[in-house]
Every structure is written in C-alpha cells, then in structure tokens.
Structure 1
C-alpha cells in the first residue's frame, strides 16, 4: 500500500464486507448437518467428516494462499478463492453421494475459504493502516466476519426451510461470487512492492527458517489448535446438539447468530486491548474464560436461558483470539511475510477444527452423545491458557537489532 487508509475508509469497509460474506455462509453450514445426513440416510459422521475436511483444507491451503498473496497480490487470490467457494457449494447442492459431499463441502469450499478469509484479508488490512492502528484494524476485520455470521445464518435458515437444503446451497453459491466485487480495493496490495517499518531485507525461505527456530512461535501454533477445535465443533454440531435436546432449529440459528453478534464486541475489544496490553495475557484470559464457560454450560440443566447465556458469553470470546494471535505474529516477525507465517499458525487452528468436527460426529455415532467432546474442549482450553503465559512476545533478534541501529 502506497498510502495509509483511515479505519473508516471505503477500503476497510469493503474488506470487512468480504469477510462478512465469507464467514456468514461458512458458519451456516452446521444447519445443514442433520437434513443432509437424513437425506442420504447417513449417520452424522459422514457430512461431519466433509465439514472436517473443509476445515483441514482451509488450513492446508491458507499458508499457500498467504504466500501467493504476499508475492502476487491479494486481489488475485480472492478472485480464485471466490470461484472455488461457489463451485464447492454448487457441487454439494448437486451431490449424489459422500464423495461429492467430501469434494464440494470439504475440499473446494475449504480452499475457497482460504482464499477469501482472514488469513489473506487481515494482512492486507494491516498494511492499509498506520502501525499504531493495525491491532484495531485486525479487530475490525474479525468483527466483520462475526457480523456476517449474525446476519447471514438466519437468512440461510430461511432458505433452508423455504426451498430445501439443495436450493439453499445453490443460492448461497451465487451469493459467494459477490466477494469478487470487493477485490478492487486490494489492487495495489502487492506485498513485494511494499517496504514495511523497521524490516531488513529477507526472503521467504529465510523468514520460514527464522520462524521455525523460534520456540515461542511454536507455542503460539500449539495454542491455536484448541481455538479451532472449540469453534468448529460448536459451529457444526451445536444445531444438532440442540435439536437432540428438543429445541427447534430457530433456537440453533439464534444461538449461532448471538455468538456472531457478541463476537463483534469481543473482537473489537480484543483488537483495541491488543494495541495497549500484553497480547499473550489477553490470550491466556480468553482461553481460561472459554474453559469456565463450557464447564458452566455442562453442569447446569439446559434451558433456553442457558443456551442463550452460553451463546452470549461464547460470542464475546469467539474470535477474540484472532487480533492478539495475528498481532503477535506481526510483533514477533514483522509484516513482510505475515500472510505466510500467520497462515502456518492458522493451519494448526484448522487441524484442531478438523479434529473437533470429525470427532464430534464420530463420537455421537458411536456413543449417542456429545458429552465427551464438550469436556475435552474445556480441559484443553485450560491447558492452553497456561501455555500462553510462557510465550515471549518480544520481536525476534533481527528486528530488535534493526530497531537499535535505527
């Protein structure tokens, strides 16, 4: 970016709208778990595995999408990602069996999300604004995704109820192509043409070598696994979990929408606080609070109030991890290869997502209950909170040396 943008500029708004579409359609796919499974006569594990593959391929292709965006520009990656996203939704809608479901809902949508989601758009947003505004810009982008979840999940449910799951997915496929309309704001975001603050000359191989030898980068990677495990499990299995407890699908849609709405506040707050306070301590608090919220949800009798209270509290913590986590990557290594290095962190997030989604379906089919997965989510969140306490969030020696020279 040759010129810094204001936080309320058209470029930031357009990037936020793109993330809203990306998140909104993806987050609504949990509503389709039960009807798709019943339509094919499968247990929940089959379509859950498709959505688990989606999270895995999202993670596998995120570093590649970030590297391509760093080298050739963000706009090209978003165009390709939008096409793959739409194609995946269409193939899912016209699926004849589990192979089509795995290809469409799993592989193609996963690749499409990687090309149009946080891992590609957030680094571009960070480069749009001045250094002191970056943490808050990351919070805005994350909150925008949650706004899409709040706004589009009820819409997707209405499509599902009115037209059936197949036509609903076709409509969503058409809608996902609209993300291409927002690519002009990224036209000048070709990373290799941009000099960032206090960064020495470094190629991608050197950046990867430096990060791989940094122990605290690995702690950050390990912690993000848990975030993915929890979020993906709840997104995919919460509608079915509530249906099993006797709630109408409107309650599930409302639950996920409340999570999205509250996450707007949580993400903006986390983004703001990450620019002021220690990012590792913010993350430790978030993961510890998640553990407590899940335990309370499990030990008290389930009711409409407990569902909405859980959704409210979970929403405040939902993607609040993203601004401090992505901010730590930039803080440790600089912005030059942030897309690639954050993509690697995010890969482990998606391995956690794959595990949470698939394990939820597998254990439900084998035990008839989600209880084991819920308790595991609480336990590993508590462990992750402790891990983050030990992260050294200072810039790497290369950047510290550069700052001393300057």
Structure 2
C-alpha cells in the first residue's frame, strides 16, 4: 500500500488524490452495495403481486443491459465534462428508480423503474466512472492499488447493505425498505463534488492522445482489447446470476432466508480482500495471467458447490471462495485498458469493456429466471457458468500486456 504522502502529494486545494479516493470509495460502497441487495426483493415482490420470478428477473436483466449500454456514453461524457456531473445526474436517476420500484404495480412499471431508470442511473453513478477518475489522479504505479481499494469498497457496501436490506424488509416491509435504500443513493451527489475537477484535459505524462475517433478505432481493431472485452462478459454472467438467484436458490434448498441474505454479504466481505489483493498483485505481476487464474478458480468453485450437498457449511464456504474471486477481475481488467491505451479516454474504453460485462449480466439473470420457471431448477445455468469460466481463462492467455501498436509508435 502506498504511503499517504505519495497519494496526497499532488492535487490542488482540498480535492487531493486522497480525498478523491475516499469519496470514490464511499460512492462505490453506496451504489454497488444497494444494487447488490436487489436479490432479496425477488420473493417478496413476486409474492405481493402474484408474479412469477421471471418478471422481476427480467427487470433486473434490463437494468444490467441498460447499465452496460449506457456506460460507454456516460464514460464519454465524463471524459468530456468531468466525473462529478455524471455521477450526480446518474445517482438521481438511480434513486428515482429504487423509489418507484416500491409503487410499481404492473410488470411494465417494474421494468421501467427497476430496469430502465436504475440501469441508466447506474451507468452514470457506478464505480466504472469512479475508477476512471482515480486512474487520472494517482500515479501509474499506484493505479492498480487505487482501483483495487475502490472495488473493495463496493464489496464492503455489499457486505453492509445485504443484511441491512433484509433487516429493513423484516422490520418495515419491502416497500418501505426500498424507500430507505433510495434515500441512501441521494448522498452520492454530495460525495461527487470531490471529483469536480473539470473535464479530462490532455493526458498523463508520457501518454499519447490520438483523439477520440482514432483511439476508438484502434481499440476495436486491437486483438488484445477484443479478447479483454470477450472475457469480461463471463464476469458479468457469474456475478449477476449469483447476486440475483443465489438467495432464492438457497431458500428452495431449505436454507433460511437470513443465511441466504448473509451469503451475499459474505461474498461482499470476501471480495473486500479479493479486490484489494488483486489490485496489489496487478501492480506487480502479469495482469493477464492473474485473470486466467481467477476465472479458472471460479469454474472450480462452482463445480464443487453444485456437486456437494447444500448445507450451511457449504453455503458459507462457497460464499467465501466466490467472494475472493468476485470483482477481483476489475483491477487487472481496467489496468490492461490503461496499459493499452492510456487514461485520456479511460472512462469510455473501460465502459465498452463493461458493456460486455453487462450483456453477460443480462443473460445470467434472465436465463436464471427463465430456466427456473420452465424447469424448476437453476442447474443448467450453474453448468453454463462453469463452461464460461473455462472459456474466460483461455481467452486471456493470448493478451499482449503492452501499449497498443499505434500508441507505442506515437509515444516513440
């Protein structure tokens, strides 16, 4: 971990890199943590309206798809106008969507609130915008560490918000619980003022700015970037399917709702360590081999969980193991984007990678609900997750971990 003086050393006024890191971590904690609790509302919302689980699953799937589709555009706006404005606008859409979920009385209203509004809000208020802001404000050797600690903060939010959301549901009912969670999102615009440093100007020292259009064209033509985009699809499939469908999967197997909620919290707790360690390792070792190992281990953990009997012990062990591998993919993935293309258009380029992640999220959530309604089981989707984990482990191996050719030539 870098010393505080090395992080605080640059920056004007009170918006030092240290303040930006702290506020960015708090934003990630709130926005990611609240979103991670949505799986707890699957059963009560479906039961209250007499819907099948596919209705709520489709709403969350739409949310993930629009989050991903909007992310490159939100990233481009952040690159152009600064992160603070984008974070503030996105968080207001996010809060409105959470509040309207409580009063959505039809599947269409649920899809518009939980799906469209929250999805577009997350595009502007997610940790992806935070990561891009941090990448510009800390030295390159500390970039992976800063990304890791911001990602870990999102996991801390998952650890805190999942049991808190369950407590709200038990104490006040699911509708009031949603209003309380919406109130938490409203804090984000205040925290975003720490990132009000204006639009990204120029490039970091030693980096090349080829312009928006040329950078985008080179990115889509770069094979290593294409492989990175394909691999991150798998991360989204795993994370979204487990977040939404693990609680009902466990309760169907006879696990208590409290332990089902705590399983999501434990995953978040494990990811605090996993993301931080991944950020540290990504600054010292090969990022592509780190990603290969993470995805391979995910496949192994899922195989063991599916084959072993579902018991409190197996649930806790699975949550701990998956938590260590949960978003540990983010620091090396975002780090590879910065290595290939620099940080000038980091928000937009990582946003495109993240769009692939969210396509995977959409399919993981939607197929989970669809297969459950048709076959009464999640087994087929678990085994899809195993196959995709092995696929992701393989596609990261050929990635070339150095600046893209045009950027390397221009720098020389």
- Asked if TM exceeds 0.5, the reply is yes
RMSD of equivalent CA atoms = 1.6
How many residues get paired?
403
SS of structure 1 residue aligned to 2:44: helix
List per-residue Cα deviations over 1:77-107 (Å, max 9, x = no partner): 0110111001101111111111110001001
Residue 231 (structure 1) aligned with residue 250 (structure 2) = no
Quote the residue 1:36 is aligned against. 45
- What TM-score, normalized to structure 1? 0.97
Find the aligned partners of 2:29 and 2:135 in 1 and give their Cα distance.
17
Residue among 171, 174, 182 paired with 1:165: 174
List per-residue Cα deviations over 1:257-301 (Å, max 9, x = no partner): 110011011001110111111100000000000000000001111
Please say if residues 270 and 323 of structure 2, whose CA atoms lie closer than 8 Å, have aligned partners that are also in contact. yes
Quote the residue 2:362 is aligned against. 354
Please say if residues 208 and 411 of structure 2, whose CA atoms lie closer than 8 Å, have aligned partners that are also in contact. no
- What TM-score, normalized to structure 2? 0.95
Residue among 123, 131, 136 paired with 1:127: 136
Matching of residues 194-273 of structure 1 within 5 Å: 194-273=202-281
Find the aligned partners of 1:296 and 1:254 in 2 and give their Cα distance.
20
Residue among 33, 41, 59 paired with 1:24: 33
Shift of 1:195: 2.7
Please say if residues 89 and 121 of structure 2, whose CA atoms lie closer than 8 Å, have aligned partners that are also in contact. yes
Quote the residue 2:4 is aligned against. none
Shift of 1:134: 0.5
Find the aligned partners of 1:314 and 1:142 in 2 and give their Cα distance.
15
Quote the residue 2:3 is aligned against. none
Please say if residues 87 and 173 of structure 1, whose CA atoms lie closer than 8 Å, have aligned partners that are also in contact. yes
Residue among 371, 380, 402 paired with 1:372: 380
Matching of residues 62-73 of structure 1 within 5 Å: 62-73=71-82
Find the aligned partners of 2:308 and 2:402 in 1 and give their Cα distance.
41
Between 1:140-149 and 1:199-208, the stretch displaced more is 199-208
Please say if residues 22 and 145 of structure 1, whose CA atoms lie closer than 8 Å, have aligned partners that are also in contact. yes
Please say if residues 124 and 189 of structure 1, whose CA atoms lie closer than 8 Å, have aligned partners that are also in contact. no
Between 1:325-334 and 1:5-14, the stretch displaced more is 5-14
Shift of 1:358: 0.4
Residue 78 (structure 1) aligned with residue 84 (structure 2) = no
Quote the residue 1:4 is aligned against. 10
Please say if residues 15 and 121 of structure 1, whose CA atoms lie closer than 8 Å, have aligned partners that are also in contact. yes
Find the aligned partners of 2:213 and 2:338 in 1 and give their Cα distance.
17
Residue 182 (structure 1) aligned with residue 225 (structure 2) = no
SS of structure 2 residue aligned to 1:389: coil
Residue among 52, 65, 69 paired with 1:60: 69
SS of structure 1 residue aligned to 2:37: helix
Shift of 1:3: 7.1
Residue 136 (structure 1) aligned with residue 142 (structure 2) = no
Please say if residues 198 and 399 of structure 1, whose CA atoms lie closer than 8 Å, have aligned partners that are also in contact. no
Quote the residue 1:278 is aligned against. 286
Unaligned runs of 5+ residues in structure 1 are none
Shift of 1:202: 2.0
Find the aligned partners of 2:268 and 2:171 in 1 and give their Cα distance.
23
Unaligned runs of 5+ residues in structure 2 are 1-6
Please say if residues 61 and 363 of structure 2, whose CA atoms lie closer than 8 Å, have aligned partners that are also in contact. yes
Please say if residues 4 and 130 of structure 1, whose CA atoms lie closer than 8 Å, have aligned partners that are also in contact. no
Residue among 308, 324, 336 paired with 1:328: 336
Quote the residue 2:409 is aligned against. 401
Residue 338 (structure 1) aligned with residue 338 (structure 2) = no
